[in-house]
């Protein structure tokens, strides 16, 4: 298959920056976040941000960058507004990948803007640089340091930041959507960039493995038939049954699947528990399907685990309540204990296994 048909390969980091790289010329500032609450009104957040921005040099190259990703996972778009000390403006718009996280889109925006600045200015420029972003996650990724970056993108951003060693640089966090003009314009550029062709935009390994994980769990959930246990788990994955004997684990899995091989109603349904009045049927009201312990109703998983009166004491011990919330049955250990309890109740009465 040609490389073109396959699309760009996932980005991988081959050379990290050495751990002793001096990053002291780059200040990462999250001070605005600490000074104003997320819930504050837009005007208040904007005023606090402007107050902090006023402490940064005016005679500088200013970058406002932003990223967007549909649902935080797809169609990444990255945009930036660059204002040079002369007042001249430049903008960048970059697709960030068909599969992409919001943080990655933010980082792609920063890289594109820094590359653009490098093109426009002398590499040895000492003009201060201020980069404003509303992504705390992107800044947190960079704040771990130049030598600690685990992605090509993070390492490239640090290389660009350190290319002009005499340039004082600030990476400033600003609150989003509160009317800061630079942030609004970057947001617009990022949104427009998300509709650019994505075919040539590389996808990183992390976004790719997360996408595969999402697709596999969705396919798994879509195939899970509606059942008592599915309703208990809602959209969660059942946890593995690790600390039980093999016999207990089989009980747990069969109860979860709604086909407990030791249940009278199940055996009657498949013709393995015939009685003189009924050889086989699917009717849960049939006397041959009744719970061998209480004889009140069919011994479905729901009955055994939640309703059988003979196991009330055990439920009280396990859950502190004889009518526990069904979600407590997410615990495989509790299901195993109730199955054992049910079987123990049968044996002394001489019923044993059906």
Least distance from Zn ion to the Cβ atom of residue 268, Å: 6
For residues 343 and 65, what is the distance between their CA atoms, to the nearest angstrom?
64
Least distance from Zn ion to the Cβ atom of residue 106, Å: 57
Closer residue to Zn ion (CB): 262 or 308: 308
Least distance from Zn ion to the Cβ atom of residue 335, Å: 16
Contacts of residue 245, Cβ cutoff 8 Å, sequence gap at least 6? none
Closer residue to Zn ion (CB): 139 or 308: 308
Residue 154, both tokens: 């993070």
Closer residue to Zn ion (CB): 179 or 287: 287
Of 304, 289, 197, 295, the closest CA to residue 256 belongs to 304
DSSP 260-287: -TT-HHHHHHTTSS--SS-S----TTSG
For residues 339 and 281, what is the distance between their CA atoms, to the nearest angstrom?
24
Least distance from Zn ion to the Cβ atom of residue 345, Å: 8
Of 94, 110, 96, the closest CA to residue 157 belongs to 110
Closer residue to Zn ion (CB): 170 or 260: 260
Least distance from Zn ion to the Cβ atom of residue 314, Å: 12
Closer residue to Zn ion (CB): 60 or 293: 293
For residues 151 and 206, what is the distance between their CA atoms, to the nearest angstrom?
9
Least distance from Zn ion to the Cβ atom of residue 218, Å: 37
Closer residue to Zn ion (CB): 108 or 289: 289
Measured at the alpha carbon of residue 109, what is the angle toward residues 143 and 70, in degrees to the nearest 5?
A: 105
Q: CA–CA distance from 283 to each of 268, 300, 342, 343 (Å)?
A: 9, 12, 22, 23
Of 29, 9, 28, 10, the closest CA to residue 146 belongs to 28
Least distance from Zn ion to the Cβ atom of residue 298, Å: 9
Residues that bind Zn ion (CB under 5 A): 278, 281, 286, 288, 291, 293-294, 308
Closer residue to Zn ion (CB): 109 or 305: 305
């Amino acid at each position: 298959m040609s490389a073109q048909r396959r699309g760009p390969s996932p980005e991988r980091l081959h050379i990290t920056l050495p751990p002793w790289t001096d990053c002291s010329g780059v200040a990462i500032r999250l001070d605005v976040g600490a000074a104003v609450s997320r819930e504050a009104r837009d005007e208040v957040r904007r005023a606090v941000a402007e107050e902090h921005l006023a402490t940064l040099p005016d005679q500088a190259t200013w970058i406002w960058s932003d990223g967007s990703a549909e649902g935080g996972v797809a169609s990444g778009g990255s945009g930036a507004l660059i204002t040079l000390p002369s007042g001249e403006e430049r903008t960048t718009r970059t697709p960030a990948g068909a599969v992409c996280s919001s943080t990655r889109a933010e980082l792609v925006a920063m890289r594109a803007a820094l590359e653009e600045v490098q093109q426009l200015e002398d590499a040895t420029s000492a003009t201060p640089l201020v980069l404003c972003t509303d992504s705390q996650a992107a800044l947190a990724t960079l704040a771990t340091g130049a030598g600690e970056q685990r992605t090509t993108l993070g390492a490239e951003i640090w290389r660009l930041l350190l290319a002009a060693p005499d340039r004082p640089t600030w990476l400033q966090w600003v609150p989003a959507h509160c009317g800061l003009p630079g942030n609004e314009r970057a947001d617009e550029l990022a949104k427009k960039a998300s509709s650019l062709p994505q075919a040539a935009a590389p996808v990183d390994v992390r976004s790719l493995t997360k996408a595969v994980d999402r697709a596999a769990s969705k396919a798994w959930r879509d195939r899970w038939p509606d059942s008592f246990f599915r309703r208990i788990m809602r959209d969660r994955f059942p946890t593995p049954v690790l600390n039980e004997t093999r016999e207990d684990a089989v009980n747990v899995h069969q109860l979860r699947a709604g086909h407990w091989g030791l249940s009278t109603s199940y055996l009657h349904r498949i013709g393995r528990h015939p009685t003189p009045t009924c050889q086989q049927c699917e009717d849960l009201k049939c006397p041959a399907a009744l719970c061998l312990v209480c004889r009140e109703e069919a011994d479905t998983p729901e009955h055994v685990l939640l309703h059988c009166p003979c196991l009330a004491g055990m439920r009280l011990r396990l859950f502190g309540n004889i009518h526990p919330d069904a979600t407590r049955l997410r615990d495989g250990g509790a299901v195993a204990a109730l199955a054992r309890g049910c079987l123990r109740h049968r044996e002394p009465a001489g019923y044993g296994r059906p």
